Each structure stands twice: as structure tokens, then as C-alpha cells.
Amino acid sequence: MNIKSKKFLVMGLPGAGKTTLADKLATKIPSVRINADEIRKRYNDWDFSKEGRIRQAKRMRDLSDKEISTGKNVITDFVCPTDKTRDDFNAHYVIWVDTIKQGRFEDTNKIFEPPKNFFLKVTSKNADYWSEQIIIKLSKE
């Protein structure tokens, strides 16, 4: 498997297991890891309004694209709750972590739009299993 300059978005509701899966996947694919909470902390931007979420998606995109431009793969994890934020982020691969029906934040639950297009839908909290499934699927491309 020869993956180069690809952007992975591991997305889903808060508490679904995104970070755990993204961390595990990063042990299998040489990549730069970008975590949304760490980026919000770095920029001291905890605005979860519609505008704040769009700004965060664009920030995550720009940071990822900078790494992509140097030939690296990037694995990100963040809620990315709407079609608009996913379009703005523009991932090569969307991995939807769909392991819970509601997250711990009601405002996020209200705006969350299940993705229409995704590379793989994760349906249980088992990062070892699902990271292997992602690698298997990637190897068939």
C-alpha cells in the first residue's frame, strides 16, 4: 500500500471514539496527526457557534493542507458536524465513527448531520479492529 499526500478525516459525535481510532490508525499509516481539541487550545478558540465551527474546519483544512503540500499524509479527528464543515475541510477519506446516537453536548447533537458520503462507517468502539478494516479497504484501492 502506497499512500502519499492524503487527508483523512475521522469524524463523529463527541465521545464516539474518534481520537482513539485516529491515534491507532496513525500507527499503521505514516502520517501527521492533527487533533481538533489541541488546535482549539493552540488558537484559544472555543467558539462552537456555526461560525466558530466553520472557522475550525477551515483552520483544520489549512493546517492539514500545509502538511499535504510537503508530501505527508494527515490524519485528523474532529466532530465536523455538518455537510458545510465537511465540504470546507475537503478530506480525501472520511471515516465516520457512528458508535453513539447522542454526544455529550446538546448543541452538537442538534446540528449534527450524518455524512452522505464516507469511505468507511465505524459502528463499534474497537480501534484495533477498525484500523485494520481501514487498511484492508485502502489496500484494495
Q: What is the pLDDT of residues 64-76, one digit of tens each?
A: 999 999 999 999 9
Question: Domain of 57?
Answer: 7-139
Give me the pLDDT at residue 68, please: 97
Phi, then psi, of 17 in degrees rounded to 5 = 110, 20
Does pLDDT of 34 surpass 80? Answer: yes
Give me the pLDDT at residue 38, please: 97
Whether 66 maps to a domain, the answer reads: yes
Whether 2 maps to a domain, the answer reads: no
Cell of 100: 453513539
| Beta strands 74-77; 7-11: pairing state | parallel
User: What's the whole-number mean pLDDT along residues 30-35?
Assistant: 97
How many Cβ atoms are within 10 Å of 100's Cβ, its own excluded?
15
Number of structural domains the chain divides into? 1
Whether 96 maps to a domain, the answer reads: yes
pLDDT category of residue 2 using cuts at 50, 70 and 90: confident
Whether 123 maps to a domain, the answer reads: yes
User: What's the whole-number mean pLDDT along residues 111-134?
Assistant: 97
CATH number for the domain harbouring residue 74: 3.40.50.300
Whether 78 maps to a domain, the answer reads: yes
Give me the pLDDT at residue 1, please: 63
The residues pairing with 11 across neighbouring beta strands, listed in sequence order, are: 96
User: What's the whole-number mean pLDDT along residues 20-25?
Assistant: 98
Whether 48 maps to a domain, the answer reads: yes
Whether 1 maps to a domain, the answer reads: no
Going 78 to 111 to 65 to 125, the CA torsion angle's sign is positive
Start-to-end CA span in the chain (Å)? 9
